[in-house]
Amino acid sequence: MPENTVTAPLAPMHPEDIADAFAYIRALQADDIETACAVIDRMGPKALQMLLDVAARIVIPITATDDHDGEPCAHSFLAAALGRLLLELLCHSVCLAGAPGIADTIVRFTENILTEDDGDVADVLRQLEAAGMKQAMQAHPTTA
């Protein structure tokens, strides 16, 4: 099988990039536009790539269901294809490619796919940030 975004491991992000990306996402989720603007200004030109990196780390593990009794099945390939399609839309779609569109897509994906019926989206976003931060700290232990 050719290597793609589902089979290729993602390089860990830097801890400060994770903190900034999630600060922006959480600010938009909370409708705190002033904080969101301050964070996006601080992120600078790397903002879009950092948000896309976070989106990939959320979407790929959820959509990369890889087996059924040890063998890939049709649903595995469909889920992986949908995950790649969502990431492709975030990268190239005119209406989603800006920072607010990417952050909103992450929030909606989290709300619709990752949050239980009575769950708190902000809490799930904090959990995702903590998981990303743990990976980043393991990969870059001297940057914190």
Q: How does pLDDT run across 127-142, given as a tens digit for each residue?
A: 989 988 888 888 887 7
For 139, the token pair is: 């990969």
Confidence of residue 21 (pLDDT cuts 50, 70, 90): very high
* pLDDT score for 70: 63
Specify the higher pLDDT residue, 25 or 119: 25
CA-to-CA dists, residue 58 to 35, 69, 95, 124, angstroms = 23, 25, 20, 11
- Say which residue the tokens 């589902």 belong to: 6
Residue 32 has pLDDT above 90, yes or no: yes
Contact 106, 122 (CB under 8 A): no
Task: Give the model's pLDDT for residue 118.
Answer: 76
Q: What is the pTM of this model?
A: 0.69
Q: Is the pLDDT of residue 61 over 80?
A: no
* Token code pair at residue 48: 């879009």
Whether the pLDDT of residue 93 is over 80: the answer is: no
* Angle formed at CA 64 by CA 94 and CA 116, multiple of 5 degrees: 85
pLDDT of 30 reads 94
pLDDT at residue 55 in the model: 85
CA 50/CA 22 separation, integer angstroms: 10
pLDDT at 41: 94
> Is the predicted pLDDT of residue 62 greater than 60, yes or no?
yes
**E strand or H helix that includes residue 123:** helix 121-139
Percent over 70 (pLDDT), the chain: 73
Q: What is the mean pLDDT of residues 96-103?
A: 77
Q: What confidence score (pLDDT) does residue 25 get?
A: 93
Would you say 53 and 102 are in contact if contact means Cβ atoms under 8 Å apart?
A: no
Tokens of 34: 């002033």
Phi, psi of 138 (to 5 degrees): -70, -35
The neighbouring-strand residues paired with 68 are 71
